[in-house]
Every structure is written in C-alpha cells, then in structure tokens.
Amino acid sequence: MTEGLPVRRFKRSLRFSGRRVGEARRCLFLVPEIGLPCGVRDYTSKLVRSLRRRPLGEEYEELPVAPFGIGSAARRILRADTIVFSFPLLAWSRTVLLPVVLLVLGFATRRRIVLLLHEWSDLHPLRRATYLPFVALCRTTIMLSPTVQAGFQSDPVAKCARSKCRLALHAPPVLRPAVRERSRRVEQVRKFKSSCDVVIGYFGSIYRGKEPAALFEVCRYLRRNQVRASVLFVGGFTNSVDRYESRFLQKVRAMDLEDAVFVTGYVERIPELFALLECADVFLYLFPEGLTTRRSSVLTSVETGRPVLVRAPACAAEVAYHPGYSSLIRDGAVQLIPREAALPQIADAVVAAARRGPTARPVDFEAWWELAAGSVSAALGSSAGSVSGARQPNASAKPQGAVRPGTSRPARAGQEID
C-alpha cells in the first residue's frame, strides 16, 4: 500500500529539508504572545529586527505563541530549521507546559534547538529546574555575559551542557527618545528632587539579587555628613517568592529614610521613563558580582547622559570581550568602583560624579545592535554570522513615589529591565 500525502509530509518534517548551498535556513525565535511586561521578550524582538537587516536576514523570524495558538505554532516549527527559546520569559513562567510542548515537538522533528539564556545562578532553583529539559535537548546555549556562563558551567546539574555554551553581545534595550513626557508622576519626582543635594538613581526591576538596599547605606552616610541625598528607584518590585518588597520597605522604615526614597513603579511609556530617569544626578549599582555585560539597567542609565557608577566585575574578562562596554568605561560614561571600596569611598565617588554633571554622550544604538546581531548570528552558525564588518559602538558616536502613603503607583510586574 502506498503512503498517503499526509504521511509523506510528516516524514519529511522529521528531517531537515534539503537546501541549495547559500539558501537561508529559517530560524524561529519563540516568545509568548501576551503576558506581563518582560525585558527578555523586548530584547528578543529587537534582536530579530536587527538580524533581519543583515545579509540573508529573511531567515530570522519571531513567532509569538499563545496557549490556544499552539496548532499554528506547530506548523511554523515544522517549516523551520532552528528553534530559539529565550529565557527567562515572565509570561511563560506561569505556563511552563507550553514551551516544553514546543521543545518536544522541535526535538522530535529534528529541529536544531538553541537556548538564549540571560540568567542562571541568580534564578530561583525551581525556575532553573524548569529549564533543564531545554538545557539537555538544545544544541547550543547562547549567553550574554562571561559571569553568567561561568555560573552555568560550574553548576553540577548543567555539567552535560558545558561544551554547548557560546557568548554573544548585549545591546541597549531602550532607544533614547527625542521628547520627554510630563506626567503627574514626573511632577512628583521633580518636587521630590527639589529638596535634595544629590539624587542617586537606580533603574529596573527591584529584587534581592541586585542588592538595591545597599544604596540605603550610601544615602544614610551622606545625610549624616550634611549632604541631602536621596534614592530614586525607577521601576518596581518583581513577583518573587521571597517577599522582598516587604523586607525592602521594612528596611526603609528601620533606617528612617521614608522621605529619602522614591519608588516609581512600572513605567510603560518611554518618554515618561526618560523624564523620570533624568531626575537622577548619578546612577549607582552595587551588584554583588559587580558589572556584568547582561545588565540592561546599566546601558539604559548610560543613555540618560548621567554618570553611572558600578562595582567592578569579579572577572576581568567580563568587560574585555565586549567592545561597547570597554568604550563606555574608557570614555568615563561608566565608572568602576573597586570591589574592596568602603562606604566612605563609595559615597565620595557618588558626590564627585554628581558634581561633574551630565556627560552628554548618547550611545550609538544602531551600532550596538548591529554588533549584537552579528555575534548572535555567529553563535547560531549562520553563514552570515561575521562580526568583523560591524561598526564598533562607543559612548560618543552620534546616532512607586517616595515611600510615603499615597504617593506610589502600584508596581505591577516591575520595570522588567534587569
């Protein structure tokens, strides 16, 4: 008995389709169709747009997937050669089964599975556990930071996938707008700023792993030394199992800083976002691991033109591999604080940077994304994946309320930029 047409089509889907030399191989980046605001999803969308501007760019596609659209997603997967999953994606954290079904479909039909992993060691163990099937079945794991890669490779649970790791380059998640929006929240922050000598800024999701409460120590030290300092958090709290938001607010009260801390909550509109960010005099990030090149919050802060101070990376290779970050540090847009620096040294650096004022060095947004797309293309093994022809990005190239009742907008999911 001869095979029917549906059977023959299914058998053809179980292997890579034969293509002529030089013909593009279709690559699908899977993202959730709807859900919570998510920095990783925004990054993926910008990455696909940048990849599509490269030679053979038509091979790259973004595929939004909804729980009730799995049938159409399956058909697209069967026409592709490579399937890319970006994690962590907030909208999929509540529907763990959906990406796993797509993973099994892609693996069973012999598609090349690629994992674009933005975090690892900082993730909750339960979240890491849900990613293990992807770690086991993928052919390549792409990461945006040597520190994240080192944490992944040192994890005994992921030892089977150590040789799959590839590094790619990060790029700014938000393009600096030409206009600013004046909103009620912006007016609240400007009034808050008017009574301060120094406003220390922080951007992005507020959660324990970023050590946001370390800024309270700096603020209190400056106030005790006759500098009216305050801390502006542009972003909101994540929905975490460790109840960090309540601990954060308890510490504000315990340190008697209710009038010195302002949390804006989630900011959706980019013109309003930058109007808020530009109320800061200096940005300070005291990450436990120091600067890592995956930190979107640092890049967005640089785009405001304000000085950005970050604790030096634990690993010297962290910045050396990324020409964009190297340029920001060389030009002074990002200043590294020694890891062993004591509180008085950090406070002095904050005051000195604030006195220098805005740097007026806008990031070359397109150049950064061109380089990032080239590095991801190379990691994917594309014939178009050469970084050598890309322009080198540099810093100077052209291109919830104060913690007082009633002044803070609900944070929702947080700013979701890390």
Question: Confidence class of residue 351 from pLDDT cuts 50, 70 and 90?
Answer: very high
Looking at residue 405, its pLDDT comes to 31
Please choose, from the candidates 360, 363, 368, 359, the residue with its C-alpha nearest in 3D space to the C-alpha of residue 335.
359
Maximum average pLDDT range among 21-35, 158-172, 270-284: 270-284
Q: How far apart are CA 86 and CA 41, in angstroms?
A: 8
Looking at residue 389, its pLDDT comes to 43
Looking at residue 350, its pLDDT comes to 97
Looking at residue 40, its pLDDT comes to 80
Tens of pLDDT along 122-131? 887 888 888 9
Question: What is the per-residue burial (b if ≥16 Cβ within 10 Å, else e) of 206-222?
Answer: bbbbbebbbbbebbbbb
User: CATH 3.40.50.2000: which residues of the chain?
Assistant: 5-167, 184-356
Higher-scoring residue by pLDDT: 413, 346: 346
Higher-scoring residue by pLDDT: 57, 5: 57
Fold of domain 5-167: Rossmann fold (3.40.50)
In the block, tokens 């796993």 appear at: 100
Tens of pLDDT along 193-211? 999 999 999 999 898 889 9
Tens of pLDDT along 115-173? 999 889 888 788 888 899 999 999 999 999 999 999 999 999 888 899 999 999 999 98
Identity at 56, one-letter amino acid code? L
- What are the strands, taking DSSP E only, across 144-292? 165-167, 198-203, 229-234, 261-263, 282-285
Question: Confidence class of residue 381 from pLDDT cuts 50, 70 and 90?
Answer: confident
pTM score, whole prediction: 0.83
Q: What percent of the chain has pLDDT over 70?
A: 82
DSSP classification of residue 210: G
Q: How far apart are CA 160 and CA 395, in angstroms?
A: 39
Pick the CATH number of 184-356 from 3.40.50.1820, 3.40.50.2000, 3.40.50.2300, 3.40.50.970: 3.40.50.2000
Looking at residue 304, its pLDDT comes to 93
Looking at residue 396, its pLDDT comes to 44
In the sheet with 229-234, reading across from the earlier edge strand, the strands are 261-263, 229-234, 198-203, 282-285, 308-311, 334-337
Maximum average pLDDT range among 41-45, 77-81, 239-243, 392-396: 77-81
Q: What percent of the chain has pLDDT over 90?
A: 57
Q: How far apart are CA 193 and CA 366, in angstroms?
A: 33
Question: Confidence class of residue 409 from pLDDT cuts 50, 70 and 90?
Answer: very low
Tens of pLDDT along 225-264? 999 999 999 999 877 767 889 999 999 999 999 999 999 9
| Cβ-contact 44, 64 below 8 angstroms | no
